[in-house]
Structure 1
């Protein structure tokens, strides 16, 4: 795509959403605007199966509003899709023609398989997971996909979602009675039983995408007072979801609208949505739940922006590159040099630390991002780096790992780390703190070796010498290394306390 801004419009069965993505001059992608309007299209089907004229008028009003937002943002390309509510409407051709003539927006009508495919693409580009079941419970349909080795293997679209199930089985007051819930579960179980491959791959995670899954994550995080604000990549046990479902189910609708973490417009449909999710969980004999914050709209973005190669092999590498590019003021050559030296030092010291490859990944990320806070303020760049890392999208990592990367990248001292991570301490253990101290100090040493920011050291040899010294010998370098030598000396004592060896920049016979 040559356009710098893309608008994605998703006409769902429960809500209509707009997201505007921008490609910056440095090649980064970011969301710059968005809007959401409740629609409940799956509830607004008449006895003949037609979407009502009132619902169509409201939808046209929403789309014209979105078109104005896109025009205001100088969007070069709008991609609009419709899912189950319009797909299943008897008058869908009339609806699509009306949208085209009244708003000028051409709508792609997605099949159930299309929905599953784009949902999978959005998820797989945002998570480091090899195998699992992907479940997207929308307003009017539910897509279930099996993926293995990060490839989509099977998918099926069921013609029910949280909105049309609520309409069909809820009592007049909007609550599900015991009889209504049992009838809903029988209906869903019968449909699920007709898809035999769902029972053949036990002990895989159930990855939930879409509004029902995100709402589940938010409500559970509010209930347990979870300290990290992201729901993306949030794990939950089967028991935790069962307990939460039972509490929501028993809570009267007026009180449920005030339930911590739950938006008012989802208060009635959350129970049928979770009923479907629990039944699928039991059917596939899943190991646990995991909430994914990226889905259909993200998949459509990747498909539009990267035609022919929308799937990224390494979600973390892609998001690190993107986050770096969002901060073009950062001295890139310096950061690349520090990253290279940090990883070399990690590998050279491996016999003495025996940290796992996962820790190397944390160091790689931290040493690639440690200067991004400088785009806000150089003097406090470490503090801003921590904030930006913890509040940005680093995909393919657990919440614990994101916090550790933020602390490693902004490392100053043990006390500073304790202070920084105090609000999140329940997500970390003492071993994690020790890892942060060691890798943070290692990153400090790598940064000291390019203190002049001139990339003077071309090649470095590392030798474990007698007397507990770590000799750092620049085999190929240019200019003076006076600054670097002084910085390494200042770090030497703290480094030795953590690593058991004192670094010394040794230029003997190499000048």
Structure 2
């Protein structure tokens, strides 16, 4: 849809980026991704708050100043895409352009500005892409996706990779502000009326996850993090208990936005919409009674990219894909990360205790990430690994899982004594994942002195629980690797399991 033919592969050492421009009711945004993959990484992100949807429902027209700002942004984005060597540009338009009588004229001018055809999304199509975005960004999602824009709200059911029937309602922040004449009381009444019509989508939400998509809800989540002094600033995968969220939303509705804690991190143009977003989310929680609210940074744009993948690519695990890409970019020998997956598989299979499927995928991801910090000074490799992993642009992992990944790799560098753990990450991971991170950290501390972080070694040095003892076997050609240091690390691993440890050499 513009520029060059799409491609998914590298050219030399360079990936071919793809870009999406999203012409929304509140903002016009450009996001460029490194390539069309299962876990695309944003390499450039810029938005302009134009307010195209402001007063559309009462005047029937797009505001002239908003149109001017939007066309200016599109012209700028076209130049940026050319500068970045974008191979394919997709441009999407949503509720404002769909509902306004001068929408067709605007779209014609917008296509001239950005140099490519614009896809005008229907409400149903927008709901479908939002659902695909959540599927692309969460591991085995199960719940209802709610995408709140400036002009509309889309609700759609997701179960794994299956997208249900969607519904769209004029409950976006700008639309509510317009229809209610600025009265939150009237806005709440409008929301209740429309939610009654969406009863089928909300009835199936009970006891499941509500996936909140959209800039206003992300802004509310950012304020919620600040109010709760939450230690991690990654938005994707942030989850909230409904009872806690209800009390917070009521504070937002009853307060002047300027007085909210840390509101300065929210753009001034978005602040007036916070209360309207709170009203909508509060009604969804009251009627739908979800188990939790999860914030999604993946939405329509990511859904469009996911839709273009083939069946095998869609079936891939986004976390493992991201971890493999980081392993390829940063590890001394990327093959070593793959060796670690198989080597630790054998050890875990020899244990009596079960490992869940999700714990297995987290362990595999940590193996792929285990050598990220090697370029740092030895005294700071643990800290460097934590900083990289806890803030990485991963999807397909929740915050406890992210804490596990950071802890496991940090333990490899600093040792597995509990007091060495980052206390914030320890609390976030929870008791079970914390102990699993210590176990993997101890395994990594055995593996690296054997392999020197190089591939092709670990397969010849099996480690397993044999006859009630943790046993490392060295082949004859590697028996001289047996040292006090290696024996000490095997014994430290065994102590975590209340077992003895030994090295059998030659």
TM-score range, shorter-chain basis? 0.7 to 0.9
* Conservation of the 8 A alpha-carbon contact between 1:214 and 1:231: yes
Alignment root-mean-square deviation, CA: 3.0
* Conservation of the 8 A alpha-carbon contact between 1:28 and 1:322: no
Question: What is the aligned partner in structure 2 of residue 91 from structure 1?
Answer: 102
* Conservation of the 8 A alpha-carbon contact between 2:170 and 2:176: no
More divergent stretch after superposition (230-239 vs 451-460): 451-460
1:48-447 alignment, distance < 5 Å: 49-171=60-182, 180-201=183-204, 202-256=206-260, 259=263, 262-304=266-308, 306=309, 311-327=314-330, 329-348=331-350, 350-351=351-352, 353-354=353-354, 356-374=356-374, 380-411=380-411, 412-414=413-415, 418-447=419-448
Question: What is the aligned partner in structure 2 of residue 2 from structure 1?
Answer: 7
Cα deviation, 1:265-289, whole Å, max 9, x if unaligned, reads 2211111112112212222232221
**Pair 20,418 (structure 1): closer, same or farther in 2 beyond 3 Å:** farther
**Pair 251,157 (structure 1): closer, same or farther in 2 beyond 3 Å:** same
> How far 1:488 moved relative to its partner?
2.9
Cα distance between partner residues in 1 of 2:345 and 2:232: 29
Equivalent residue pairs, number: 492
**Pair 480,430 (structure 1): closer, same or farther in 2 beyond 3 Å:** closer
> How far 1:167 moved relative to its partner?
2.0
Question: What is the aligned partner in structure 2 of residue 18 from structure 1?
Answer: 30
* Conservation of the 8 A alpha-carbon contact between 1:258 and 1:264: no
Cα distance between partner residues in 2 of 1:279 and 1:27: 34
> How far 1:386 moved relative to its partner?
2.5
Question: What is the aligned partner in structure 2 of residue 41 from structure 1?
Answer: 52
Structure 2 residues without counterparts, runs of 5 or longer: 1-5, 9-15
**What's the TM-score once normalised by structure 1's chain length?**
0.87
Cα deviation, 1:366-416, whole Å, max 9, x if unaligned, reads 112101223566785444222211111333322122112111123134577
* Conservation of the 8 A alpha-carbon contact between 1:116 and 1:155: yes
Aligned with residue 494 of structure 1, among 492, 495, 498: 492
Structure 1 residues without counterparts, runs of 5 or longer: 172-179
Cα distance between partner residues in 2 of 1:118 and 1:452: 41
> How far 1:355 moved relative to its partner?
5.1
| The structure with more radius of gyration | 1
* Conservation of the 8 A alpha-carbon contact between 1:346 and 1:360: no
More divergent stretch after superposition (82-91 vs 242-251): 242-251
> How far 1:170 moved relative to its partner?
4.1
Cα deviation, 1:35-84, whole Å, max 9, x if unaligned, reads 11101111153865121333222211111111122222222221111100
* Conservation of the 8 A alpha-carbon contact between 2:191 and 2:280: yes
* Conservation of the 8 A alpha-carbon contact between 1:335 and 1:367: yes
**What's the TM-score once normalised by structure 2's chain length?**
0.88
**Pair 238,423 (structure 1): closer, same or farther in 2 beyond 3 Å:** closer
1:460-471 alignment, distance < 5 Å: 469-471=469-471
* Conservation of the 8 A alpha-carbon contact between 2:332 and 2:453: no
Cα distance between partner residues in 2 of 1:494 and 1:124: 40
* Conservation of the 8 A alpha-carbon contact between 2:54 and 2:62: no
**Pair 82,233 (structure 1): closer, same or farther in 2 beyond 3 Å:** same
Which secondary structure does the structure 2 equivalent of 1:249 belong to? helix
**Pair 99,457 (structure 1): closer, same or farther in 2 beyond 3 Å:** closer
Cα distance between partner residues in 2 of 1:28 and 1:80: 20
* Conservation of the 8 A alpha-carbon contact between 1:124 and 1:150: yes
**Pair 245,492 (structure 1): closer, same or farther in 2 beyond 3 Å:** closer
**Pair 30,289 (structure 1): closer, same or farther in 2 beyond 3 Å:** closer
**Pair 69,417 (structure 1): closer, same or farther in 2 beyond 3 Å:** farther
Which secondary structure does the structure 1 equivalent of 2:392 belong to? coil
* Conservation of the 8 A alpha-carbon contact between 2:77 and 2:114: no
Cα deviation, 1:121-146, whole Å, max 9, x if unaligned, reads 11111112442010011100100001
**Pair 63,271 (structure 1): closer, same or farther in 2 beyond 3 Å:** same
* Conservation of the 8 A alpha-carbon contact between 1:339 and 1:446: no
Cα distance between partner residues in 2 of 1:410 and 1:50: 56
Cα distance between partner residues in 2 of 1:396 and 1:332: 21
**Pair 254,388 (structure 1): closer, same or farther in 2 beyond 3 Å:** closer
Cα distance between partner residues in 1 of 2:32 and 2:395: 20
